[in-house]
Structure 1
Amino acid sequence: MSVTYDFAGRTAIVTGGARGIGRAIAGKLALSGVDVWIWDIEPVELEGTRSLSVDVTKRDSIMQALTIMGEGGIDILVNNAGWLGSYKPFEEFEPTEWQRNLQVNLLGTFEVTHRVLPLMRRAGKGRIVNMGSLAGKEGLPSLAAYSAASAGVIAFTKALSREVSDTDIRVNCIAPGPIDTRLIRDLGNETVDAMISASPLKRLGDPNEVAALVVWLCSDASAFNTGAVFDMSGGRARY
C-alpha cells in the first residue's frame, strides 16, 4: 500500500542528499509536493528537486546557500549529511579521522540547524528530522567515533525539542541500523554479511523505508511526536 501526503507550498532542505538515504528522502518529499533543496558537496541531479553545493561544516557555505534560496521560509529540515569513516578499532584511528567524523555528523547538524531554526521560529512552525544511528544508541565496536557522534545527535534532538516546545516546531531523530547504501557496502562483503546475520529480519534496510518514516514525521499526522528517536534497525535495537 502506497501512502501519500500533500505538502504543496512547503520548502525543505535535505543535507547529504546526493545518494543513499538522503536521495531517497529528497525524492519522496518531492513526490509529496515539497519544494526540495538538496545540500551536498557532490553535484546532484534528481527530478523535482534543486541542489546547491554546500559544506555543512562551514558556516559561510551554509549562509551562502540560504542567500541563494531567498527570503522564503523553511518548513522542513532533514539533517542527513553523514560520514561513517573507517571500520576499525579505536586505537588505530588517526585523530584527524575521528575529528572529521564529529565535524560532519554532529557539528554539521549543529551548524545547519543553528541557521535554519530562527527561520522556523519566525514562522512559529517547522519540522526537523535528524539522522542518528543505531550506533549512537548502543555503541558499536570498530565504529567508536561514529557511535559517539551519533549519540550526540540523539541527545541534541531531545534537548532542542524541549527548547522549541512552545512552538509548532517538532524535532525528532531516526536511528537506522545498516541500510543498503554505498556507505555500508563500502565496508566490504564480510562486514555486510555479519550485519545481515545479526539482524532478526536477516536483511539490510531499504533507503525508501527510511524516507517513508521521514515523510511521516514531517506530516501533521506526527504532530504529537517530538524529542523522539525512531529505530529503523530490522529488530537489532535492544531498547
Structure 2
Amino acid sequence: MAVTYDFAGKTAIVTGGSRGIGRAVAAHLARSGADVWIWDADPVPADGIRNQTVDVTKAGDIKAALTEIVAGTGRIDILVNNAGYLGPYHGFETFDPAEWQRIIGVNLLGTFEVTHQVLPVMRQAGRGRIVNMGSLAGKEGLPNLAAYSAASAGVIAFTKALSREVCDTGIRVNCVAPGPIDTDLIRRLGNKVVSDMIGASPLKRLGAVDEVAALVLWLCSDASSFNTGAVFDMSGGRARY
C-alpha cells in the first residue's frame, strides 16, 4: 500500500536534486504537493520542479538562490541536504589531498553553509524540517572511502548537535544514513566493488532511490514530529549498530 503525504503550500529545497537520491526525493515531494526547488551545480530540468544553479560550497550562490525563493514564497518549510561527492575508491595513502578536500567541502561544509543560511528563515517561522543525508560509511568507516566516511560522520554529528540547538522550536533535524543505493554514484565504483557491496548486504541487493525517498518524506511530514537528532539507517540490514 502506497503511503501518501500532503505537502500542499510547503516550500522545499533539495540540494543535489538533479540525480540519484536527490532527484527521487524532489519528485516525491513535488507529487505530494510541495513547491520544490532543486539546488544543483549541474541542474537537470524536471517537470513540476524549479531548478537553480547552486554550488553548495559557494556562499554567494546559496544567498542568491535563497533570496529568490524567499522573495516569492516568504518561507522555507523543508530542506534536504543531499548534495554529495563520493570521490575515488582508493586507499588513503594514495589519495590526492585535493580530492579529500573536495569531498569534505561538498558533503560536510556544503551542508554547513546551506543550513547556516536557510535555518534563520525557518527559525523566524518557528517550524521546519531539515533532513541531512549521511551514509553508512559515516557510522562504520569504510576502507578506501576514508575521506567520505569522515565527511559523513561529520554530517551525523552535526545533525545531532543542531537538533538540540533548535529543539525550542518546531524545527526538526534528522539524518538518513544509506548503505549502497543503486545510483550512478555507486555504479561508477565499478562492477567488482558493487558486487562486493551486494555480497555484504543481508538482503543481497542495492537499495532503490524510491525507498530512500519514502523515508525522507516521512521525516519531512507531521507524522515525524517527535523525531529529532536521529540517524535512520537505510542499509538493507548491513549496519551493525
1:84 to 64, 86, 108: 86
Residues in 2 aligned to 1:171 and 1:146: alpha-carbon distance in whole angstroms: 21
Q: How far apart are residue 143 of structure 1 and its match?
A: 0.2
Percent sequence identity is 76
The normalised TM-score by structure 1 is 0.99
Task: Tell me which stretches of 4 or more aligned residues in structure 1 moved more than 4 Å.
Answer: none
Asked whether 1:26 is paired with 2:26, we answer yes
SS in 1 for 2:142: coil
Tell me, in whole angstroms, the C-alpha distance in 2 between the residues paired with 1:210 and 1:38.
17
The one-letter code sitting in structure 2 at the alignment partner of 1:50 is: R
CA shift for structure 1 position 107 = 0.1
Matched with 1:162 is 164
Give me the CA root mean square deviation. 0.5
Shift of 1:36: 0.2
Give the gaps of 5 or more residues in structure 2: none
Equivalent runs, 1:116-155 vs 2, <5 Å: 116-155=118-157
- How far the C-alpha of 1:45 sits from its partner, in A, is 1.2
2:97 maps to which of 95, 98, 112: 95
Task: In structure 2, give the amino acid aligned to 1:159.
Answer: A
Which whole-Å CA distance do the structure 2 matches of 1:178 and 1:222 have between them?
A: 25
Instruction: Give distance in 2, aligned partners of 1:129 and 1:55.
Output: 19
Report the residue type matching 1:94 in the other structure.
D
Q: What secondary structure, in the 3-state scheme, does the structure 2 residue paired with 1:119 have?
A: helix
Q: How many residues align?
A: 239
Counterpart in the other structure of 2:52: 52
How do 1:207-218 and structure 2 match up within 5 A?
207-218=209-220
Q: Give secondary structure in 1 for the equivalent of 2:51.
A: strand
Residue ranges of structure 1 left out of the alignment (5+ in a row): none
The offset of 1:70, in angstroms, is 3.3
Q: Where does residue 38 of structure 1 map in the other structure? A: 38
Kindly indicate whether the alpha-carbon contact (under 8 Å) linking 2:70 and 2:76 is maintained by their aligned counterparts in 1: no
Q: 1:160-203 CA distances to partner (integer Å, 9 max, x unpaired)? A: 00000000000000000000000000000000000000000000
Partner of 2:107: 105
CA contact (8 A) 1:128 1:170 kept: yes
Q: For 1:44, give the aligned amino acid.
A: V
The residue aligned with 2:207 is 205
Could you tell me the TM-score, scaled by structure 2's length? 0.98
CA distance in 2, matches of 1:48, 1:210: 21
Find the residue that maps to 2:137 and give its secondary structure.
Answer: helix
| Structure 1 residue identity aligned to 2:45 | E
Once residues 22 and 43 of structure 1 are traced to their aligned partners in structure 2, the CA distance between those partners, rounded to angstroms, is 11
Q: Which whole-Å CA distance do the structure 2 matches of 1:70 and 1:77 have between them?
A: 13
Structure 2 Cα separation of the partners of residues 163 and 66 of structure 1: 22
Q: Give the SS at the match of 2:63.
A: helix
